[in-house]
Structure 1
Amino acid sequence: MKEFVLLYRSEPLGEIKMTPEGTMAVSKEWENWMGGIAAQNKLVSNGARLGNEGRSLKPGIVVTNGPYAEIKEILGGLSIIRAESMEEATEIAKNCPILNVGGNVEVREIIPMNS
């Protein structure tokens, strides 16, 4: 079985605030979706939310702040799953709750490093 990373992207929420009920509902959707993957023994990492601030390092040790406000979408988190193929990993990703709120999921195979 191969491993795949699911990268969750969406537009920054900015000053939008959710109600506690809305936050709970969204959390429950994610919990149910991740739980379904885990129940199939296909969840390697239960996901990680990423902060809104970061740094980018470029050649010459140039450090810049990021993510950038002018970028339409930001990387908000990731999970690692097991699947037999890219097609199966894509099928799993089709039920991701971020798709219900205008976000998207990038599915990438993880290529093991040679020892």
Structure 2
Amino acid sequence: MKDFLLIFRSSATGPSTASPEEMQASMQRWMDWIGGIAAQNKLIDRGNRLNAGGKVVGAGQVITDGPYMELKEAVGGYTLIRAESLEEAAEMSKGCPILLVGGNVEVREIGTM
């Protein structure tokens, strides 16, 4: 088994206008999807949602505000899973609720040093 990072990206269009009921339904879809991975004993860490603000450290150790929301996509969160291959991890990602709202999931194998 290998470890993979799932990075959730979505449109950086600003705050949601979803009703409390829609937000609850969305949260339930996320819990169901994560629960399905956990039931297969392939969940390493459910991860967390990321706040929009932050800092970027660049070349020469220059620190700037960012990431900037004028980008087309923003990283919204992550999850760590275990799978036999990159292909299996990508297949598991097909059930991610972010796909229902036009987002995407970047699947990356976690290498060892």
Fold in common (TM above 0.5) = yes
Hey, what does 2:49 align to over in structure 1?
A: 49
Hey, what does 2:62 align to over in structure 1?
A: 62
Describe the SS at the equivalent of 1:17.
coil
Q: Report the residue type matching 1:25 in the other structure.
A: A
Q: In the TM superposition, what is the alpha-carbon distance from 1:18 to its structure 2 partner?
A: 1.5
Hey, what does 1:74 align to over in structure 2?
A: 74
Unaligned runs of 5+ in 2: none
Between the aligned residues of both structures, percent identity stands at 54
How many Å separate the matches in 1 of 2:15 and 2:50? Answer: 17
Q: In the TM superposition, what is the alpha-carbon distance from 1:47 to its structure 2 partner?
A: 1.9
Bigger strand fraction: 1
Greater than 6 Å deviation, 4+ residue runs = none
Describe the SS at the equivalent of 2:55.
strand
Hey, what does 2:24 align to over in structure 1?
A: 24
Aligned length: 113
Unaligned runs of 5+ in 1: none
How many Å separate the matches in 1 of 2:37 and 2:16? Answer: 30
Instruction: Give the alignment's TM-score, normalised by structure 2.
Output: 0.96
Hey, what does 2:83 align to over in structure 1?
A: 83
Q: In the TM superposition, what is the alpha-carbon distance from 1:15 to its structure 2 partner?
A: 3.8
How many Å separate the matches in 2 of 1:66 and 1:78? Answer: 18
CA contact (8 A) 2:12 2:70 kept: no
Instruction: Give the alignment's TM-score, normalised by structure 1.
Output: 0.94
